[in-house]
Amino acid sequence: SHACRNAVKTDAPPAVLWDIMRCWAKLHPVKWERLPDSSPAARILAVEPTLQASFALHEDANPSSRKRGLKRFPENPEAFWGPKARAKPGGGIAPSLQEKRERLQNKRTQRPDGAGLKQFPCKRFKEGTCPQGEKCCYSHEPALAAPN
């Protein structure tokens, strides 16, 4: 195969494939004492192959490009070179795509335990019914809670 020099591509019938496996088993002997006589492997290998298979590597199995160390696929020409965002109506000039990506990075991450909400007054504290007390994520400062 062009992809792997050890690969086998064939449309041969199964009997020929089994003969090839038997020839390979003759080159790489099996430990017969580990195979029971009733096992499928012992029965398959007991039959003599009807053909002789050659396991010599074909010259074209390893292409010259691989021998020279060439890459199979070219490297990307530059960073972020692929498809860009679709065109916007009106052809407005937007900031570069990279700046936009950095600006929108982590846009949807959750804030831990209402971080940054202490700047807003607690409406239940204004009413005098906040059950959270000090654990409330909103501010219980009287100056912030005073109605405008």
- The predicted structure's pLDDT at residue 145: 47
The tokens for 37 are: 């006589």
pLDDT band at 109 (very low <50, low <70, confident <90, very high): confident
Residue 81 in any domain: the answer is: no
Which of 95, 71, 72 is CA-nearest to residue 85? 95
CATH of the domain at 129: 4.10.1000.10
Residue 138 in any domain: the answer is: yes
Residue 23 in any domain: the answer is: yes
Measured between alpha carbons, how far is 54 from 10 in angstroms, rounded to an integer?
15
Residue 2 in any domain: the answer is: no
Q: Which domain holds residue 31?
A: 14-67
Say if residue 115's pLDDT is above 70. Answer: no
Residue 140 in any domain: the answer is: yes
Phi and psi, residue 139, nearest 5°: -80, 140
Q: What is the reported pTM?
A: 0.42
pLDDT band at 21 (very low <50, low <70, confident <90, very high): very high
pLDDT digits (tens, 9 = 90+) for 73-96: 888 888 888 888 777 776 655 567
pLDDT band at 126 (very low <50, low <70, confident <90, very high): confident
- Of the three residues 67, 102, 128, the one that is the final residue of a domain is 67
Per the CB < 8 A criterion, the answer to whether 80 and 97 are in contact is yes
Measured between alpha carbons, how far is 6 from 11 in angstroms, rounded to an integer?
17
- Of the three residues 67, 95, 128, the one that is the final residue of a domain is 67
Residue 61 in any domain: the answer is: yes
* Number of structural domains in the chain: 2
Residue 5 in any domain: the answer is: no
